[in-house]
């Protein structure tokens, strides 16, 4: 459930009430050779989560006129705060073996998730360039499960920046290539994970393109390459790739025109 309210000076405040539910299954196996296969066993821990949370958001009005900076338009600031109450966790511990499934422990406890805070800004430069930056913070060192904290978690911080190019003079009526949208960005993240008492950082670069498929509609293609961790002091280092394809339907579909 969500709602928004327009404040004086065109500031906008929004809020949501969310219900969280999900399940995580942990599994470990003990396997012997064929001669002792009857001794094989699998140990399972199933955690089911459910609880409520809320999110508050704020977007400022256009601040560019107050700053009176040439070539900068539509300057806006935004903030978001997410809070989750203690989530009830139903836990079942069981063993699967040749004689069947045996549940040897079952109960409920509270899981405490840390709040999440984000802030960002965006503005247009010379009409055609949209510049964005944001910051995210979440203190995972406060995470608790059954009143117990983890030594393998620390506070998460991430900073991101992005640039989008779009020829606004040719949004409607321009050629195919004049309507194409180009995007790029980068981000640096101090993740919440600690491995062998070492912090795990992540760096990513992003690229994307929006191809027009009708008036106000775009086929968006995006690609991300990132590096997580570093191969020193018994740490791990991994590279990852992400690609996505989506269709963005413009609001013109929902506008009514007089004939």
What are the residue boundaries of the structural domains of the chain, listed by start?
2-15+53-84+112-254
Q: Is the pTM value of this prediction over 0.75?
A: yes
139-188: per-residue pLDDT in tens? 999 999 988 998 899 999 999 999 999 988 877 777 888 889 999 999 99
Give pLDDT, residue 87: 93
Upper half-sphere CA count for residue 253 (Cβ side, 13 Å): 8
Residue from 167, 173, 15, 168 nearest 81 by CA: 15
Where is average pLDDT lowest: 15-19, 94-98, 101-105, 232-236?
232-236
pLDDT, mean of residues 5-24: 92
238 and 227 in contact (C-beta within 8 Å)?
A: yes
30-69: per-residue pLDDT in tens? 888 777 778 888 899 999 999 999 999 999 999 988 887 8
Give pLDDT, residue 248: 82
**CATH 1.10.3470 assigned to 2-15+53-84+112-254:** no
Three-state SS at 66? helix
100-137: per-residue pLDDT in tens? 888 888 899 999 999 999 999 999 998 899 999 999 99
């Amino acid at each position: 459930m969500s709602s928004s309210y327009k404040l004086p000076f065109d500031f906008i405040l929004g809020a949501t009430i969310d219900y969280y539910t999900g399940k995580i299954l942990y599994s470990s196996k003990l396997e012997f050779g064929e001669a002792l296969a009857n001794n094989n066993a699998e140990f399972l821990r199933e955690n089911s989560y459910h609880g409520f949370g809320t999110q508050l958001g704020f977007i400022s009005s256009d601040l560019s006129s107050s700053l009176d900076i040439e070539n900068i338009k539509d300057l806006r600031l935004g903030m978001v705060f997410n809070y989750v109450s203690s989530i009830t966790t139903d836990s079942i511990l069981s063993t699967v073996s040749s004689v069947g499934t045996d549940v040897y422990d079952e109960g409920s406890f509270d899981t405490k998730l840390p709040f999440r805070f984000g802030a960002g800004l965006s503005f247009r430069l010379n009409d055609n360039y949209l510049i964005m930056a944001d910051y995210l913070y979440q203190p995972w060192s406060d995470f608790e499960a059954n009143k117990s904290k983890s030594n393998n978690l620390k506070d998460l911080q991430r900073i991101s920046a992005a640039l989008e190019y779009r020829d606004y003079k040719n949004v409607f009526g321009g050629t195919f290539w004049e309507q194409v949208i180009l995007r790029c960005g980068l981000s640096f993240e101090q993740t919440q994970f600690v491995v062998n008492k070492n912090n795990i950082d992540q760096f990513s670069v992003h690229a994307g393109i929006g191809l027009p498929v009708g008036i106000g509609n775009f086929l968006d293609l995006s690609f991300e390459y990132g590096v997580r961790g570093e191969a020193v002091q018994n740490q791990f280092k991994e590279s990852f790739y992400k690609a996505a394809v989506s269709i963005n339907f413009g609001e013109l579909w929902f506008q009514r025109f007089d004939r």
